[in-house]
Amino acid sequence: MYYAADDTPPPPPSSATEPRTSYLEEKAFKARTLLIFGTVTDVTAADVTRRLIALDAEGPEPIDIIVSSPGGHLESGDAIHDVVRFIAAPVNMIGTGWVGSAATHLYLAAPRERRFCLPNTRFLIHQPSGGAGGPASDIAIQAEEIVKARQRIARTIARETGKPLEVVLADIERDRWLSAQEAVDYGLVSRVIERKTELPGR
């Protein structure tokens, strides 16, 4: 903790930004728009799934999710992926910045015709990784789980892009980067858009 030169504690942080944050949150909710930015964690998953369920309860209109994330915790991405497919309201996925790893997995929860990206988006697909440690038996279990996760991710990509599973398995053996147009060609994305008015029903 740092103090001023006269050793008196500094004033508490200003809460001036709090009303602004609440205002923006309310506007985003009314616009039926969610943001997934940064690393995907269990906190991210809890927040996004809670909002998805609330928006689904509000009505059947489409929900827009804007994604810019390097990925993160696979199972947290799984939770978002499954809830997107679980709710009744349709979801438009809009990629921007970069969409990688576990973020690509949750992005693929939307049907292909509802997957979009902005022009400068980059996508990354690859196999899961892990830092196995501990007794040899535990390392063997973790290695087996990574292999299972790799197969599951590959099956999801194959299902959502129409690519043969063998092709996907080969493609994710190492990092595979795709530009916006390359992602369209691969089947990850339906089309590249520049404006919100290009989304379905707008």
Q: What is the bridge-based pairing of β-strands 176-178 and 122-125?
A: antiparallel
- Asked if 125 contacts 176 with a C-beta cutoff of 8 angstroms, the reply is yes
- Concatenated DSSP letters of 38-81: S-B-HHHHHHHHHHHHHHHHH-SS-EEEEEEE--B-HHHHHHHH
**Catalytic residue flag (residue 73):** no
**Both tokens assigned to 77:** 């991405």
Dihedral sign computed on CA atoms, order 101, 47, 120, 85: positive
Q: Which one is catalytic: 101, 137, 179, 190?
A: 101
Q: How crowded is residue 103: how many other Cβ atoms within 10 Å of its Cβ?
A: 28
Secondary structure class of 179 (helix, strand, coil): coil
Q: Is 101 known to be catalytic?
A: yes
Alpha helices by DSSP H, listed for 110-135, are none
Q: Which of 76, 105, 126, 190 is catalytic?
A: 126
Determine the Cα–Cα distance for residues 117 and 126; give it in Å rounded to an integer. Answer: 19
Q: Are 119 and 111 in contact (CB under 8 A)?
A: no
Q: Looking at the annotation, which residues are catalytic?
A: 101, 126
